[in-house]
Amino acid sequence: MSIAQIMTSTRIHLDVDAPSKKRALERMSEYLSDGDSELNSGQVFDALLMRERLGSTGLGFGFAIPHARHAQAEDVRGACMRLSQPIDFDAMDQQPVDFVVGLLVPDGSADEHVHMLAELAGLLNEPQVRERLRDAETPAQVLDVFASVPGI
């Protein structure tokens, strides 16, 4: 499964106002639960927050990958948002974050969870990919970036 396959343009949001890490996680929870009546955004937020307490998901280069497993998730799903203003996310490189990619996986999908995180981290390690994601003007263009990267 690829990153592009777990996202939809309705779960990609550009120039989002989220002035804090907590607010960014709240917004991501809303986006990840969008379109699934079984998912409660409050419970998704709790799962993301619990994972974040184990250590920051701020990858570096201005990107974060908050992620969690959730009993009510029926499938692997992704969402992303480009923030209108960078925020402190306790990233490994101590740089503020302006692009957040979230993952939510079913409880029993540990292998897929690890695989998706590794693929996403590898993808975001590429300077050209980061630049293209930041330059995207529409959710469809963001989805195209994810779909156009070989091996993802």
H-run or E-run covering 119: helix 110-124
* Residues forming beta bridges with residue 100, ordered by sequence position: 64, 81
pLDDT at 152 over 50: no
Calpha distance 94→136 (Å, rounded): 25
Calpha distance 145→9 (Å, rounded): 12
75 or 86: whose pLDDT is higher?
86
Find the domain containing 7 and state its range: 3-148
pLDDT at 150 over 80: no
pLDDT at 134 over 50: yes
Average pLDDT on 97-111 reads: 89
- CATH number reported for the structural domain that contains residue 33 in this entry: 3.40.930.10
pLDDT band, residue 43 (cuts 50/70/90): very high
Report how far Cα 22 is from the mean position of its chain's Cα atoms. Answer: 14
Q: How many domains does the chain have?
A: 1
Active-site annotation, residues: 67
90 phi/psi in degrees, rounded to 5: 55, 40
